[in-house]
Amino acid sequence: MKFTNRIRKTALSAIAATVLLAGPAIAADVDSIHFLIPGGAGGGWDGTARGTGEALTKAGLVGTATFENMSGGGGGKAIGFLIENAASNHGTLMVNSTPIVIRSLVGRFPHNFRDLTMIAGTIGDYAAFVVHKNSPIKSFADLLAAYKANPRKVAIGGGSVPGGMDHIVVAHAMQAAGEDPTKVKYIPYDAGGKAMAALLSGEIKALSTGFSEAVGMAKAGEVRIIGVTADKRNAAAPDAPTLKEQGVNAEFVNWRGFFAAPGLPAAKANAYRAAIAKMYATPEWEAVRARNGWVNIHNPGDKFVSFLEAQEKVIKSLMKKLGFL
């Protein structure tokens, strides 16, 4: 999964944005966007859609943004709705993330991302391996050594079901390290916070979680990050080593992005993509992004397609090996 494209705020684009904003009442690029959120209020999808909508409208890129929560079937209901009512939903963008790939693969959704118009991947989070600050495990190599000695004694927890994202990340890393991913003793928790509590209480030896979630705890000095699935170290936690630099070639990005109805005219899709591309350079977006601790991972249009296909391939082969397919 190397198709991540980090947007950097360069001085140039900042100047361009200032000039743009200073211009006399430029009409919005897109009149309005209706955001379809496949889950309830307060979740990750909800925050992403509302934050993006807020930045787009405040920056003047989009005239108005409306939001609709449509939960059901773990997100499947909204996907089905967008496909069945495609013709009347050209003004709708649906937010989604890595689980759309996973849940389509296991057949939980009757559709998959190819049935939709892929607009752009906008933000993301890397995965991280975390241990207790007092743990004898100090690096990913230590974890591997313990795993080699007896995999049943190395309980690794996560905040998703077996075969879900956190589990797949563990299996991905173990496979890249040359170990048997099916031997992983994965302990699922129903939320990342509960998994973190289990790590601190000593119930599990290591935790597979989102990088941004791990950073806060590492800063507090409670836990140690022993491996990040990014290609290089992140400025938010410069002490946290990547898996790659420890000789384990495993990268993983939990992306979030936007989809539109199938059969959307190309001009309309490109207008959405252009508005989102412009958004990155605006101070309004930077405020929203910083507030939420998101990482810009911009994959517009075709790049989004190839990114998703590559991610699907990796996940599919892992899930086959783990026996979920």
Partner 1 sequence: MYDGIMLGVTAAFSLTNLTMVVAGCLIGTFIGMLPGLGPMSIIAIMIPVAIKIGDPSAALILLAGVYYGAIFGGSTSSILINAPGVAGTVATSFDGYPMARMGKAGKALAIAAIASFCGGTVGAILLIGFAPALSSVALLFHSAEYFALMVVGLSAIAAFAGEGMVVKALLMTVMGLIMATVGESALFNAPRFTMGVQDLQSGFSFITLAMALFALPEALFLVMDPARANQDDADKQIKDLKITRAEARAIAPVIARQSIQGFLIGVMPGAGATIASFLGYAVERNIASEEEQKEFGKGSIKGLAAPEAANNAACTGSFVPLLTLGIPGSGTTAILLGALIALNVNPGPRLMIDNPTIFWSVIISMYIGNVVLIILNLPLIPYIAKLLTIPRNYLIPFILFFTLIGAYIGQNNATELLILVGLGVGATILRFANFPLPPLLIGFILGGMMEDNFARAVNLTDGIQFMYQRPMTLTLLLIGVALIALPIWRRRRAKLSVADGD
Q: Which residues, numbered 214-243, are part of the site for partner 1 (CB under 8 A)? A: 216-217, 219-222
Residue of the chain from 61, 82, 101, 196 that contacts partner 1 (CB under 8 A): 196
> 51 or 257, CB closer to partner 1?
51
Residue of 131, 74, 125 whose CA lies nearest to 295: 125
Residue of 71, 57, 62, 58 whose CA lies nearest to 32: 62
- Rounded to whole angstroms, how far apart are CA atoms 261 and 83? 6
Task: Assess 263 for contact with partner 1 (CB under 8 A).
Answer: no
Q: Which residues, numbered 79-138, are part of the site for partner 1 (CB under 8 A)? A: 80, 106, 108
For residue 123, count other CB atoms closer than 10 A to its CB: 24
Residue 214 C-beta-side C-alpha neighbours within 13 Å: 31
Torsion of CA 66, 68, 74, 77, to 10 degrees: -110
- At closest approach, how far in Å is the CB of 14 from partner 1? 22
Task: Assess 45 for contact with partner 1 (CB under 8 A).
Answer: no
- At closest approach, how far in Å is the CB of 135 from partner 1? 14
- Output the six-digit token pair for 229: 């699935």
- Output the six-digit token pair for 166: 């956190």
Task: Assess 197 for contact with partner 1 (CB under 8 A).
Answer: yes
Instruction: Tell me how far apart the 2 most distant CA atoms of the chain are, in Å.
Output: 68
Query: For the chain, how big is the Rg over CA atoms in Å?
Result: 20
Task: Assess 187 for contact with partner 1 (CB under 8 A).
Answer: yes
End-to-end C-alpha distance for the chain, whole angstroms: 21
- At closest approach, how far in Å is the CB of 39 from partner 1? 10
DSSP 75: G
Task: Assess 40 for contact with partner 1 (CB under 8 A).
Answer: yes
Choices 1-9, 84-92, 193-201, 236-244; region in contact with partner 1 by CB under 8 A:
193-201
Task: Assess 76 for contact with partner 1 (CB under 8 A).
Answer: yes
Residues making contact with partner 1 (CB under 8 A): 40-42, 46-47, 50, 68-74, 76-77, 80, 106, 108, 152, 155, 161-164, 185, 187-191, 193-194, 196-198, 200-204, 216-217, 219-222, 291-293, 324
